Amino acid sequence: MSDRKIKLAINLRGVGGSMSEWRHPDAKADASIDFELYKEWAQKAEAALFDILFIADGLYITEQSLPHFLNRYEPITLLSALATVTKNIGLVGTVSSTYSDPFTIARQFASLDKMSGGRAGWNVVTSGLLDGAANNFNGKQVHHDEKYELATEYLEITKGLWDSWEDDAFVRDKETGVFFDPAKMHTLNHEGKFFSVKGPLNIERSPQGQPVIFQAGLSEPGRNFAAQFANAIYSIPQTIAESIAFREDMRKRAVTFGRSADDILVFANISPVVGRTEEEAEQKYQEIANLVTIEHALNYTSRFFNHLDLSQYPLDEPAINLLELIPGQDGTFKYFTEELQSGKTLRQLALEATTPRSPFMGTAEQIADKLQAWFEAGAADGFMFVPFGPFGLDDFLNEVVPILQERGLFRTAYEAATLRENLGLSIPKNRYAQS
C-alpha cells in the first residue's frame, strides 16, 4: 500500500455545473465556449500533475437546460485541440454508445490517442430511454435491458479495431519497398446482434496500446459492463460507506471477469469549497447559492417533478406532500425522496438542488484530511474534481494538492508519458501478437 497514490482527474465544465456560477463577479460568463480559458485550465491542471482532464457531454438541450449545457464544445474536438497544448495529462471524453458508430468512434479516439502520444480515454455512456437524445438521432431508442448489451458489443468492436495493427506491422523499409507486413494487419469481421463491422481500422495503435475506458453506470448491468471493460469508474457517492461498498463490489466483479481487482480505478466525484476557515468556505458556497433566484430554482427543479409548475406550492413548510409527484426512484429521484422525507421545505429543496452542497467544505487541511480518509479507507482510488465557482480551481490546486503531496499521497512528478502508465495500469498487448 505504501506506493499507492491518489489519482486526480479534473472535470472541466465551463460556466460550471450549477445554474448560477456564471453570475459570480469573477466568473467568465462565456467560459463554456472560451477555448483560451479551457487551455489555461488544462495547463494549470497539468502543472499540478493531474492524471486526467475530463470532458462530460450531453446530446440534447431544452430551454430548461443548465447554462453550461446550452452552449459548449463537443468533447472529441475539444480534447483534440487540448492535446496540442498539453504534454502529460490524460484526455478523457464522454461519448454515447447508443448514438454513435463504433468504426468512427474507434477511429476518433485512436486518432486522439496517437496524436497525444498515448493520453486518450473514452467515458462510455449509454443514454437512457427517457433521454431526449433520441429526438436528435432519428428517434432511435434502445430499451434499458438492451443498452448494455449493445454497449458490450460496441466495446468488443472498438477494442477489436484498436488491435487491427500489431505494434511492428509498419515496416517502412525504403530499401525493399515494404511499407507494412500484411500478416500483422488484422481484419475484425465482426457480425453481431447490433452491428456488423469488418475493419481493419485505418490507424495504428498508440504508445499506450488502447485508449483508457471510463464508465459511470451504477445499475446492475452497468456495473457488470464496467467490471468487464472499464479501467476507471466515475462515481458520485453520497457517503464514504457507500463508496467503500461500491469500490469493493467493483473490484470483486472485475475478478469474476478474469481481471485483477487493481485493473479498475474508482474516481469519486468531489466539488470542494476551500476557505481559510470553515466560515469562509460556507461564505464562498453562499456567494454562489445566493445568485439563484427562487423562480429560477423552482423552474430548474420542476424537471424532477414531471415539469409541474412548482410555484403553486407553499415554499416554506415541509414539502412531504410533493413525494407523490416524484416520477421515479433511481439516482436523483432517490435523493429528492430522501430530502422530502427528512422534512425539507420546497425552498430548501429547490435552492440546494440548484446549487448542491459539497460534503468537502472547509479548510484545505480539513479537505485533505477527508480525501486521505476516503483514499485510505478504500472508498476511492482517486477523485474527480469538479471546480465549484470561479475560485474553485485555483483554491484546490494551490491549497489542497500541495498538502496531499507533502503527505506523500500524490505524485510530485509524472511517472510516464502515457495515461495508462501514469494511472499504474498495464499496456494491453495486441491480441494477435505472437510474442
Bridge partners, 124 (sequence order)? 95, 215
Minimum distance of a copy of itself from residue 73's CB (angstroms): 5
Should residue 294 be labelled a site residue for a copy of itself when binding is judged by CB under 8 A? no
330 is in an annotated binding site: no
Q: Would you say 219 is a known binding-site residue?
A: yes
Compare residues 93 and 222 and give the one whose CB is closer to a copy of itself: 93
Q: Is 313 in the site for a copy of itself (CB under 8 A)?
A: no
SS3 401: helix
Considering only residues 335-374, where is the footprint of a copy of itself by CB under 8 A?
none
Residues 404, 419: Cα–Cα separation, whole Å: 21
For a copy of itself, which residue of 10, 48, 78, 289 counts as binding (CB under 8 A)? 78
Which amino acid does the sequence have at 136?
N
The annotation status of 148 as a binding-site residue, yes or no, is yes
244 contacts a copy of itself (rule: CB under 8 A): no
Residue 64: left (phi > 0), alpha (psi -120 to 50), or beta? alpha
236 lines the binding site for a copy of itself (CB under 8 A): no
∠ Cα 15 18 22 (to 5°): 35
Answer yes or no: is 173 a known binding residue.
no
Q: Which of residues 50-69 bind a copy of itself (CB under 8 A)?
A: 58-61, 63, 65, 67, 69
Count CA atoms closer than 13 A to 9's CA, side-chain side.
32
Does the protein bind a copy of itself through residue 296 (CB under 8 A)? yes
84 is in an annotated binding site: no
SS3 232: strand
DSSP assignment of 350-393:
HHHHHSPPPS-EE-HHHHHHHHHHHHHTTS-SEEEE---STTHH
* Site string (91-110) toward a copy of itself, x via CB under 8 A: --------xxx-xx--xx-x
Q: Within 31-50, which residues bind a copy of itself (CB under 8 A)? A: 33, 35, 39
110 vs 265, beta carbon nearer a copy of itself:
110
Closest approach of a copy of itself to the CB of residue 89, in Å = 15
CB 243 within 8 A of CB 237: yes
The DSSP 8-state label assigned to residue 77 in this structure reads H
Residues at the binding site are 57, 94, 144, 148, 219
Residues at the binding site for FMN are 57, 94, 144, 148, 219
